[in-house]
Structure 1
Amino acid sequence: MTQRKPGESEPSNKKIQHAASTVLYALLVILALWVVRDFIPAVVWAAVIAIALWPLLQHLESQPGSRARSTGVALLLTAAVGLFIVLPFLLVLTQAAHESHESHELIAWFKQAEANGIPLPSLVEHLPFGSQQVSSWWQENLARPLHESPVANGLHAESVLAFSRHFGAVAAHGLILFGFMLVTLFVIFQAGSNMSGNLIKATRRAFGVDGGQLVEQMAAAVRGTVSGLVVVGIGEGLLLGIAYAITGVPHATLLGLLTAIAAMLPFCAPIIFCAAALWLFVQGATVGALCVLIFGFVVVLVAEHFVRPLLIGSSTRLPFLLVLFGILGGAQTFGLLGLFIGPALMTVLTVLWRAWVK
């Protein structure tokens, strides 16, 4: 038998140790992520907002003496983010309090509808088709007093109570998540360029120069998505708020703010302006209701299918179709975070394709 030299087993031992270390590190990372799984959404939201505001942070850090007051800069940006998120809701509540005298009219209308029912709008009789079916359903469910209506009787107190409890639990969880997100965002801002530099170095060490460039392009996709969602949402809220005021919808400013908030999510603005159009329709303002509906859908069509993809695609050089699929598919797969994850993944797909066909 030939004897193996002492040094011959060292390479194999190093391979085994390297493989064991890799498995151990992977297990530790998975365990750590599992421990903090409830806080991952807060961290991801903080990372998205930090990426969107990173150029502003770099500009503030470049000012003379900014290094000495990095904590103040981080606190200022974090407070600005908190106000930007909370302020619209505060404005909605303030506007509702200022216009509370008009809410008495709504309460009076609801009481009258509860006692006498809602009259059938005259437009229903002139519908080109389906007028008989709509009229019979209306007479059966809404024309009679609401306390006798089958639709109203279907709303049991137990189901309303269960919905209220669920809504309260979701709201409490959202507030807790919002608080941890602000804390995480403050830490990221305080770390500043040191954190971004270390992340880029780690990415290049693990995946090479191309990996670092890919991460930068994904960050640009997230930044463009945030800009597209916020800018387009504010624009839709402004235009539809003007339409509310012209057509005589009550609380036009309040509804405009709500529309702007809803429009920051794709295709959520119709929930608000359709409700406003329905109110006008019930009040007999058929022309105003049709104007709000038509104008609202035109604004949403142009904003969601052209303006928003253009804003996002211009910062990432993504084709229109990939931007649209990234936003909608990401939201369907990952929820709200998918609005930002989707375009980032489409950026990865585009970069890999361009590198492959070179």
Structure 2
Amino acid sequence: MSFMDQPEPSAPRATHIARLTLAGLLALLGLWIAWTFLPSLAWAVVIAVAIDPMHMRLRARWPAGRTWIATAITLLVALVVLVPVAAGITQAAREAHDVSVWMTQAQANGLPLPEWVAKVPVGREMLTNWWQANLATPEGAVHQFHQLRAVADTRLIGTNVLHRSVVFAFTLLTLFFLLRDRESIIAQMRRAGDRLFGPTGERVGVQALRSIRGTIDGLVLVGIGEGAVMTIVYIVLGVPHPLLLGSVTAVAAMIPFGAALVFAIAGALLIGMGSVAGAVAVMVIGLVVVGIADHFVRPVLIGGATRLPFLWVLIGILGGVETLGLLGLFIGPATMAVLVMLWREFLETPGQAEEIPAAQ
């Protein structure tokens, strides 16, 4: 072989760099194309992780029922979400006529000052003046309702509902494939993690899954507890439909600031009945319960499942919600748990792993 026939020494390195560059560009392109559907993928993963113990028990009992089990669980998840939504829409449709008649009368005659305003302990005069200027006359009522319609633009609401419906449908579709092909997906993720990160890859995945399950347990258990406590408060203070509001509170407590909205509704009902003191009590007791649950009980439950210090659980929950919305409620603690685990492993040297205590 002549000298001219020998390959250049830099050829393998150049080929490797070209492959990495092409892979990186394709990965960025794929991420850009799938960007709209990333929340759906993340939600499907969170739901699959949460229900995996139940899923595996069903698979153990019916080993050959992989497809129909995945279908049944997906339909169950859809029903859990859609049935309450459908019930709320049906109830709203029933009351829409009464609300429309009330608004028409208010715009024609104005809204008289209600009796409960005289019982307001603070700001009574300011509230009275505002009501007289903005709602007591037909002109003021028309102006206020016009502004309300501008805020609640039906086109924006319709677009938002359509977008969320598409996201939810894609989430269900993704969930079905995650459940049906569970073993294959896990095997691929383990192989990829081992090739990229070595033994650390599997530990990162286990810690993230443990954190997501701990977060879900904390959300569900704390939400049920808040609903039970507030149901008793609603009964004692005479709030209409206390059991219904208690159930709604339990669900809303799993959503950041959701329970506070239910407290406001309960307070408004009490004010309409003339019980201003009861409305104030509902708001104060409710906010205290939510504060204790969200800042003490929930972080302890999540931190206990993930060995994550209290401060980092709180940062993961609040920072995740602020950054990613409701999805951040699960992603935030999982991210903090992985980071703290990597930090602990970084501090540990071979042979000294047991000498360095875990941070508490």
Please give the TM-score of this superposition, normalised by the length of structure 1.
0.84
Does the alignment pair 1:83 with 2:79?
Answer: yes
Read off the aligned partner of 2:130 and give its amino acid letter.
W
From 114, 117, 132, the equivalent of 1:119 is 114
Could you tell me how far 1:326 is from its partner in structure 2?
A: 0.7
| Residues in 1 aligned to 2:5 and 2:35: alpha-carbon distance in whole angstroms | 47
Number of residue-to-residue matches in the alignment = 344
Cα gap change, 1:306 to 1:62, in 2 (>3 Å): same
TM alignment of 1:49-64, pairs within 5 A: 49-63=47-61
Contact 1:247 / 1:288 at 8 angstroms: preserved in 2? Answer: yes
From 118, 134, 146, the equivalent of 1:141 is 134
Could you tell me how far 1:20 is from its partner in structure 2?
A: 0.4
Contact 1:219 / 1:344 at 8 angstroms: preserved in 2? Answer: yes
Read off the aligned partner of 1:9 and give its amino acid letter.
E
CA RMSD for the aligned pairs? 3.1
Cα gap change, 1:93 to 1:252, in 2 (>3 Å): farther
Does the alignment pair 1:206 with 2:205?
Answer: no
Could you tell me how far 1:357 is from its partner in structure 2?
A: 2.3
Contact 1:267 / 1:304 at 8 angstroms: preserved in 2? Answer: no
| Residues in 2 aligned to 1:242 and 1:87: alpha-carbon distance in whole angstroms | 26
Could you tell me how far 1:24 is from its partner in structure 2?
A: 0.6
Identify the residue that residue 354 of structure 2 maps to in structure 1.
none
Cα gap change, 1:278 to 1:159, in 2 (>3 Å): closer
Could you tell me how far 1:107 is from its partner in structure 2?
A: 7.1
Q: Secondary structure at the match of 1:296?
A: helix
Contact 1:233 / 1:261 at 8 angstroms: preserved in 2? Answer: yes
| Residues in 1 aligned to 2:174 and 2:33: alpha-carbon distance in whole angstroms | 17
Alpha-carbon deviations, 1:270-310, whole Å to 9, x = none? 11212321331243112321221122112211211122212
Identify the residue that residue 22 of structure 1 maps to in structure 2.
20
Identify the residue that residue 231 of structure 1 maps to in structure 2.
221
Q: Secondary structure at the match of 2:8?
A: helix
Contact 2:256 / 2:326 at 8 angstroms: preserved in 1? Answer: no
Identify the residue that residue 42 of structure 2 maps to in structure 1.
44
From 44, 68, 75, the equivalent of 1:72 is 68
Identify the residue that residue 296 of structure 1 maps to in structure 2.
286
Q: Secondary structure at the match of 1:9?
A: coil
Does the alignment pair 1:309 with 2:299?
Answer: yes
Percent identity of the aligned residues?
39
Identify the residue that residue 358 of structure 2 maps to in structure 1.
none
Does the alignment pair 1:357 with 2:357?
Answer: no
Could you tell me how far 1:259 is from its partner in structure 2?
A: 2.6
Identify the residue that residue 34 of structure 1 maps to in structure 2.
32
| Residues in 1 aligned to 2:247 and 2:164: alpha-carbon distance in whole angstroms | 20
Contact 1:255 / 1:272 at 8 angstroms: preserved in 2? Answer: yes
Read off the aligned partner of 1:13 and give its amino acid letter.
A
Could you tell me how far 1:157 is from its partner in structure 2?
A: 7.1
Read off the aligned partner of 2:60 and give its amino acid letter.
S
Contact 2:231 / 2:243 at 8 angstroms: preserved in 1? Answer: yes
Cα gap change, 1:180 to 1:294, in 2 (>3 Å): same
Contact 1:229 / 1:264 at 8 angstroms: preserved in 2? Answer: yes
| Residues in 2 aligned to 1:117 and 1:269: alpha-carbon distance in whole angstroms | 31
Identify the residue that residue 9 of structure 1 maps to in structure 2.
8
Could you tell me how far 1:148 is from its partner in structure 2?
A: 3.2
Please give the TM-score of this superposition, normalised by the length of structure 2.
0.84
Segments of structure 1 that go 5 or more residues without pairing to the other structure are none
Contact 1:331 / 1:338 at 8 angstroms: preserved in 2? Answer: yes
| Residues in 1 aligned to 2:128 and 2:144: alpha-carbon distance in whole angstroms | 20
Could you tell me how far 1:171 is from its partner in structure 2?
A: 0.8
| Residues in 2 aligned to 1:353 and 1:155: alpha-carbon distance in whole angstroms | 55
Could you tell me how far 1:178 is from its partner in structure 2?
A: 0.9
Cα gap change, 1:115 to 1:197, in 2 (>3 Å): same
Does the alignment pair 1:321 with 2:311?
Answer: yes
Segments of structure 2 that go 5 or more residues without pairing to the other structure are 349-360
Alpha-carbon deviations, 1:189-243, whole Å to 9, x = none? 0002221122122111111101210121012112222222233223323432443
Cα gap change, 1:227 to 1:87, in 2 (>3 Å): farther
Q: Secondary structure at the match of 1:149?
A: helix
Q: Secondary structure at the match of 1:284?
A: coil
